[in-house]
Structure 1
Amino acid sequence: MDILYLSPEFPPNYAHFVRCLHAEGIRVWAIGEADFYSLPAELRACIRWYARAALDRWERVEAAVHELLEIKHAQGFEGPFAWVESHNEAWLRLESWINERFDIPGLRRTDIEPLKKKSVMKRLFQDARLPVARGAVVASLEEALRLAAELGYPVCLKPNEGVGARGVHRVDDEAALREIFPRLTEDVLLEDWISAPIVTFDGLVDLEGRVVFENRLVYGEGVVDYAAGRDPFFYVSRRVPEGLAAVGGELVRRLGLRRKFFHIEFFDRGADWVPIELNARPPGGAILDMMNYSIDGDLYRAWARILLGRPPELPAAKKYAVGYVGRRDRPYALSHGDLLARLGGRLVEWGENPPLFWEIMGRTRYLFRAEDEEEILALGAEARREG
């Protein structure tokens, strides 16, 4: 099997996907923006051929795909690529365009709107008879003022197309709305501000669209708070409530995903789950690694095996809850060395995040696990205490 992988260099942990594809006997042909020789040697060894192109310039990507196909055929591997993948929100449209242009199975451009535009996601949620935040796309300050007056403050302003907390604003009164709205340059959605814990339903589907792995991530606060400077804390839970699995599973079914990861965010209001957004990709940053640590398994390998129609071979039991703390450049009650000592054998990973992640995920990450979720909460609080 030959697959085309987009951006094998970022984020750095996604190199494990390429490594596992290679280990399963799949030939990986890649297009990325980095110089090939800047990639780690282990990653370079797993790529059959690499073409460098700016991924936001589709005509250059098209030329790169033709180049790889010519080389592939010259080496005796006939036919098109069997799959195109990036696991990255930024390249979903590009992925679907390559699939259509070169007649490759997978997402089509008509599939992308529900995965990118929050207003279209909301219609999908409503079709599934789920509660949603009241609101609509607003095209002018006058529309925004009218809708905010109808909903009542505070309200939430966010890009209709965007990832995570970037560009999301809590607006507490009319004066703030008049100040913020004129600065916005994108299609904007204005909604009720919902104050409730945020959880996610994440997982992986196989060739038939069956969920073969599911996960719940619980945020300590919200990503808006992290973007505002709060140290991020969240954890992978050992349990997925039946109601969340049912609601999340129905949304996955309606999307018709195959051979894909998914990541769906919800407000947890106790009596119901209010969907926020959904994505056809793994959750970001180190969360995929956290899910691996929770089961002592390998989701990178599981996905590669699914491409080949093989069983994913994932452990059934969630043995651990896994916590994440991201710290910034400021003083803490526990120094770095003190924190490592405090975490002890529960620490499974620490390191510096890529600079692109610093605003939301913190500069230095600490991943730790325990059987008891209360222990994860206590360690997370200690790690973030300033001093």
Structure 2
Amino acid sequence: MNFVFFSPHFPANGADFCDRLKKAGATVLGIGDAPFDALDSKLKAALSEYYRVADMEDYEPVFRAIGHFIHKWGRIDRFESLNEHWLELEANIRTDFNIYGTKLDFVKNLKRKSRMRAFFRKSGVETIAQRKCSDRAGAMTSASAIPWWSNRTQAPALRTRSRSPMRKSSTTSSGTSRRM
């Protein structure tokens, strides 16, 4: 089995996944943006080959990497990552190279929670009510329909956070680090 692991270095448990695949007899091939020398030693040992791309968001180099792997290793049996961010890229690659798994015509059902809900219901799995809200009033109205929420004596204040995923750190005069 030829298994291409996209972004094997992130999240970090990708190394364990690749290691187990190799131990199960798979040929594990990796595509990522990290330099090979920066990869975890367990990950390096698990990979039969690693193809570095400068930008994982750029489809063309990923497409070329798969072409290279097929030329060198033969048919690709699986193309996966452990990151939801790559669902659409994975589906594109699987569609273009006819690799087993979720294809482009179905991936929207996994990316949109409202579509996922229909599949859960079809399978007999209960889901909670959902409502699309764009402001606090809509959110509070929706929340008031939930029994455990509406029985609360006082609704907690909604917290707002910075949209930036990065937080700055600074060092105080005593040398301790703090979040900003």
Structure 2 residues not aligned, in runs of 5+: 150-157, 162-178
Which of 106, 123, 142 pairs up with 1:192? 142
2:80 maps to 1:85: yes
Give the whole-Å Cα distance in 1 for the aligned partners of 2:116 and 2:148. Answer: 20
Alpha-carbon deviation of 1:121? Answer: 2.4
Aligned to 1:12: 12
- SS in structure 2 at match of 1:10: coil
Give the whole-Å Cα distance in 1 for the aligned partners of 2:103 and 2:121. Answer: 23
Alpha-carbon deviation of 1:2? Answer: 1.2
Q: Deviations over 1:116-153 (max 9, x none)?
A: 112322444555584542424x7xxxxx57xx8xxxx4
Under a length normalisation based on structure 2, what TM-score does the superposition of the two structures give?
0.70
Runs of 4+ in 1 over 3 A off after TM superposition: 122-132, 194-197
Q: Deviations over 1:19-41 (max 9, x none)?
A: 11111221101101111110022
Which of 123, 131, 136 pairs up with 1:135? 131
Aligned to 1:102: 97
CA contact (8 A) 1:80 1:102 kept: no
CA contact (8 A) 1:125 1:132 kept: no
2:37 maps to 1:47: no
Aligned to 2:70: 69
Identical-pair percentage = 29
Give the whole-Å Cα distance in 2 for the aligned partners of 1:19 and 1:126. Answer: 36
* Amino acid in the other structure paired with 1:26: A
* Amino acid in the other structure paired with 2:142: D
- SS in structure 1 at match of 2:99: coil
Aligned positions, number: 152
- SS in structure 2 at match of 1:84: strand
2:105 maps to 1:113: no
- SS in structure 2 at match of 1:135: coil
- SS in structure 2 at match of 1:121: helix
Q: CA RMSD in A?
A: 3.2
Aligned to 1:368: none
Alpha-carbon deviation of 1:14? Answer: 2.0
Q: Deviations over 1:57-105 (max 9, x none)?
A: 1111101111222232xxxxxx311111112201111111111111111
Query: CA 1:35–1:124 in structure 2 vs 1: closer, same or farther (change >3 Å)?
Result: same
- The structure in which a higher percent of residues are strand is 1
Aligned to 1:36: 36
Higher relative contact order (CA 8 A, sep 6+): 2
CA contact (8 A) 2:15 2:40 kept: no
Alpha-carbon deviation of 1:45? Answer: 1.5
Query: CA 1:39–1:112 in structure 2 vs 1: closer, same or farther (change >3 Å)?
Result: same
* Amino acid in the other structure paired with 1:41: S
CA contact (8 A) 2:18 2:47 kept: yes
